A and B are shown apart, each in its own frame.
Chain A
Amino acid sequence: MIDINAYGEYKTSWCPGCGNHDVLKALKQALAELDLAPHQVAHVSGIGQAAKAPHYITLNGFNGLHGRGLPPAQAVKLVNPALTVIAESGDGCNYGEGGNHFLAAIRRNVDMTLLAHDNQIYGLTKGQASPTTFEGHVTKSQPDGVTNAPFNPIAVAVAMRANFVARAFSGNVPHLVKMIQAAINHPGFAMVDIFSPCISFNKVNTFGWYKQRCYELGDDYDPTNWDAAMEKAYEFGDRIPMGVIWKTDRKPLNERLPMCAKGALGKQPVDKAVLEGIMQAYI
């Protein structure tokens, strides 16, 4: 096990009481227990409060553009399959601005983990509706209440048979650690949608609101049963299930591509003899 201090301690710009502090703590613990040293991990993010995470933990990091965390994360894994790749961003980044990349990442199925902080609000820009905000939720920007139906990331991921789909809550760190570890260990695209309450801008979906509703799925739940998973994906009311909702084992892209078998692509020399042969074929 790695000493948790190896991941550093940084001053954050998150509000005191923000769920993100607990997600960060859980990520460090998960990595330490998996024996992943900082240089073995690539931590990729977009923009948003959650997406600042690479600045608050000592790992290789790529803090990219809003909505665009997933494309570089997938490329990092393809180019250097030895790295453990974790993308971390919020619901606006992954499901709004980057929605097309989210769908494509599920289809592409590169071996990586997505940690999607879901607080059902925009925190960085101070309180506008996010893709997961409930219909009717009143915000400064939606004074008559949100009129869009909320995006259901779990249902979409299960519907598309993503390799691993889980849900967790920052208020239950031991369970969150287990989910992060299971996602990292599961081959292919693995996502954990993490409720991480915004204490400043979401007065509806508060820590207490989630605490009251979230329950852990028991051992009797079979996450390989797709019909049951779809049902759980829509259980979002008085009770909300936590745990591995769905998993399958479609072969990851990085295991399908022969180019990935030789290790880091950047270390492969240019085979000039092969290139000479290629040029001859144009004659």
Chain B
Amino acid sequence: MSIHSRHIVIGGAAGQGLVTVGQLLCKSMIRAGYEVLVTQDYMSRVRGGHNTYNIRVGVEPLTGPTDACDILVALNQETVELHRNSLSSKGLLVLDEELDALGLPALKVPFATLAPKAIFQNVAALGVLCSALGIAKEIPSKLVHDSFGKKGDAVVQQNMQVLDDAYAWGLANGLECEKLPQPKNLTPRMFLNGNEAIALGALAAGVKFCSFYPMTPATSVAQNLITHGRKMGVIVEQVEDEIAALNMGLGASYAGAPTLVPTSGGGFALMTEAVSLAGVMEQPVVIVLAQRPGPATGLPTRTEQADLNLVLYAGHGEFPRAIFAPGTIEECFLLTHKAFDITEKYQTPAFVLTDQELADRHMGVVPFDLSRLPAVAQPDLGDGAAEQYRRYALTRDGLSPRRIPGYGSSIVLADCHEHTEDGHITEDMGMRVAMNDKRFIKAEGMVDEVVPPKRFGAAHPKRLLVCWGSTEGAAREAADMLNAKGESVGVLSFSQVWPLNPGQFMADLEAAEEVICVEGNKTAQFARLLRQETGFAMHGTVLRYDGRPFTPDYILGKLAG
């Protein structure tokens, strides 16, 4: 059971407009002052594609998805059949009057009457749902104006008429639906998902180049950069394959463009040789990997956290890297921004590791305060003593000033071999060792800048749940639910998983009586990494690898079992 929220599940076939209805409804609820959290579920293998858009709404901040369903909006009969058993005891089914409610308490909507053409059904559904939930009509009205304004007055007028009729119908038909409590949060908020927040974070950091090959669930990162690229001066190039994507990205980085390359596990596997190139060439690049379950094609539209080892070890040879794993939409923005700083400062690849659940998770998010963002490291834009410039000059901190070819008369030679200070091939043993050591001196600085893990729940917990990335929300809520029953449970959530800085968290691990790792894979990859690096063996694990996101109920069930 969940706390302090209600759950609306919109289900239908792909192409029926469930995402449009869902987005309009969510934006209305956010504008009304509610907290909203959306999880998208693409059941693409069930009879021609059955999808759901799962909305959680409440007045208190929400952290993650749940399994509940209080209002089921069925756009087709299949949705009724598939979800009839998940509807809660006080739940309500909303469906077209032509569909069969199978005996469930239902609101049968005459969509054919309310929407003169099929194209208006989304707005008709919005009107009915807003009235059912007790959202003042002015809010969806303004949203319809805002959303359809560009299409001209006639389109706006037609949609407004449909909205009015649908809302009035909803009121007149005395719905037996529990109204939402009074909202609290009247701050204007964006309706934003993880991939959109990553794109905004990259733009804020100054991204200028993105090369990509489409792959679910990462594609919309590039898509968002395409949408805003012209205004922000970003080139986004869809390329022939993922190998080209990262190699091209490194060329762009060499030529002075802060660069982002988004992909998922299979695409990233193709990039691994170029990851190694970025390491030896000391070329900055931010790689976003939105995980989905493997091996190989796995469950293409589902979620998992099983590519930690892949990202940790990708690329032959040894070189430093940073891996961020945002736990929230805000962190998708902030840590992508930080990844650009770290990759430029340390001239080695930085990763943003998310997953389908977080990529597609939508929430209400206050617009980011750009004036409070720290400055992002820049290359060396000087051209002093150009004739003596050496791209890989050996320095005390391992950082060689990175000049950009063509900006001045300095010659910049970037190389994939082991090389001399000026970038030429060498097989000299001493130089090899010096260069390898130089690259790892940089790693020491990176440890000092690690984002510390976050602590939630009980202050001095007896039981500590350790998690990373998107699992944070469900783990926090599970801890809250246990603490409400009088237990002592804390959460230690890592949003940077490499490098680790044990000084930041060892005391937490040692103080708890029981430490449980909660992560979305079969082999407890993070628990093993932590043990490898610190010697600390966790006392148990809660793992999920069925392709579904963690929910509090799932965690509680595993802890109890």
Which positions in A face B, CB cutoff 8 Å?
Answer: 37-40, 42, 44, 47, 52, 54-55, 58-65, 68, 71-76, 78-80, 82-83, 100-101, 103-104, 257-260, 262, 264-272, 274-276, 278-280, 282-283
Q: Give the A-binding residues of B (Cβ under 8 A).
A: 31, 188-192, 196, 200, 203-206, 208-209, 211, 228-235, 237, 239-241, 243-245, 247-252, 254-258, 273-274, 277, 281, 367-368, 370-371, 379, 386, 404-417, 423-425
Partner of A83, one of B188, B233, B367, B405: B405
Q: In the assembled complex, which residues on chain B have CB atoms less than 8 Å from the CB atom of A268?
A: 208, 233
14 additional A-B residue pairs with CB within 8 Å, beyond A44-B251, A262-B233, A268-B208: A39-B386, A39-B408, A39-B410, A55-B415, A71-B243, A75-B250, A76-B255, A78-B237, A101-B240, A266-B255, A270-B205, A276-B370, A278-B200, A283-B188
Cβ A64 vs Cβ B277 within 8 A: yes
Q: A259-B235, A266-B255, A271-B232 are in contact. Are A68 and B409 (CB under 8 A)?
A: no
Partner of B235, one of A38, A52, A78: A78
List the 4 closest A-B pairs by CB distance, nearest first. Answer: A72-B251, A266-B256, A75-B251, A60-B405
Q: A72 and B189 in contact (CB under 8 A), knowing A104-B244, A265-B235?
A: no
CA distance A263 to B460 in the complex (A): 57
Using A65-B416, A79-B256, A274-B232 as known contacts, say yes or no to A42 and B405 having CB atoms under 8 A apart. Answer: yes
- 28 example contacts (A-B, Cβ-Cβ < 8 A) are as follows A37-B409, A39-B386, A42-B405, A54-B415, A55-B413, A55-B424, A59-B411, A61-B411, A61-B423, A63-B414, A64-B247, A64-B416, A71-B244, A71-B245, A73-B251, A75-B211, A75-B257, A78-B209, A78-B237, A78-B252, A82-B406, A265-B234, A266-B255, A269-B206, A270-B205, A271-B231, A279-B200, A280-B367
Kindly state the separation between the CA atoms of A34 and B254 in the bound complex, as whole angstroms: 24
Q: Is there an interface contact between A40 and B406, defined as CB atoms closer than 8 Å?
A: yes
State the majority secondary structure of interface residues on A: helix
A80 CA to B273 CA in the complex, in Å?
A: 25
On whether the beta carbons of B256 and A264 are closer than 8 Å, the reply is yes
**B251–A266 touching, CB < 8 Å:** no
Chain B residues, CB < 8 A from A68: 243-244, 247, 274
| Contact between chains at B209 and A75 (CB < 8 Å) | yes
Contact with A267, one of B209, B239, B256, B367 (Cβ below 8 angstroms): B256
Q: What is the predominant secondary structure among interface residues of chain B facing chain A? A: mixed
A77 to chain B, nearest CB (A): 8
Contact among B228, B257, B274 for A79, CB-based, below 8 A: B257
- Are A76 and B252 in touch, CB under 8 angstroms? yes
Q: How far is the CA of A60 from the CA of B414 in the complex (A)?
A: 8
A259 to B252: give the CA distance in the assembly, Å. Answer: 14
Residues in chain B near residue A271, CB distance under 8 A: 231-233
Known contacts A75-B209, A265-B209; A275/B232 CB under 8 A: yes
**Which residues does chain B contribute within 8 Å of A62, judged by CB atoms?**
251, 254, 414
- Min Cβ gap A254→B in Å is 9
Q: How far, in whole Å, are A64 and B246 apart by their CA atoms in the complex? A: 11
Q: Would you call A64 and B250 a contact (CB within 8 A)? A: yes
Max count, chain B CB within 10 A of own CB: residue among A37, A58, A262, A265: A265
What CA separation (Å) do A208 and B485 show in the bound complex?
90
A275's partner among B200, B412, B425 (CB-CB below 8 A) is B200
Q: Are A60 and B412 in contact (CB under 8 A)?
A: yes
Residues of the A chain whose Cβ atoms lie less than 8 Å from the Cβ of B192: 282
Interface centre among A55, A61, A75, A268 (most CB of B within 10 A): A75
> Across the interface, do A52 and B277 meet the contact criterion of CB distance under 8 Å?
no
Across the interface, do A72 and B247 meet the contact criterion of CB distance under 8 Å? yes
A79 with B255: in contact, given A38-B411, A268-B233 (CB under 8 Å)?
Answer: yes
Query: Nearest CB to that of A54 among chain B residues?
Result: B413
A189 vs chain B, min Cβ distance (A)? 14
Contacts of B379 in A (CB 8 A): 266
Chain A neighbourhood of B423, CB < 8 A: 61
| Chain B hits for A76, CB < 8 A | 251-252, 254-255, 405
A64: which B residues are within 8 A, CB to CB? 247, 250-251, 277, 281, 416
When chains A and B are docked, how far (Å) is the Cα of A75 from the Cα of B415? 17
Q: Is the CB of B233 within 8 A of A264?
A: no
Chain B's closest residue to A61 (CB) is B413
CB neighbours of B196 from chain A (8 A):
282
Determine which of B188, B228, B255, B281 lies in contact with A75 in the assembled complex, contact meaning CB atoms within 8 Å. B255
- Cβ of A266 and Cβ of B254 under 8 Å apart? no
Which residues on the A side are within 8 Å of B229 (C-beta)? Answer: 259
Do residues A65 and B241 form an inter-chain contact, with CB atoms below 8 A? no
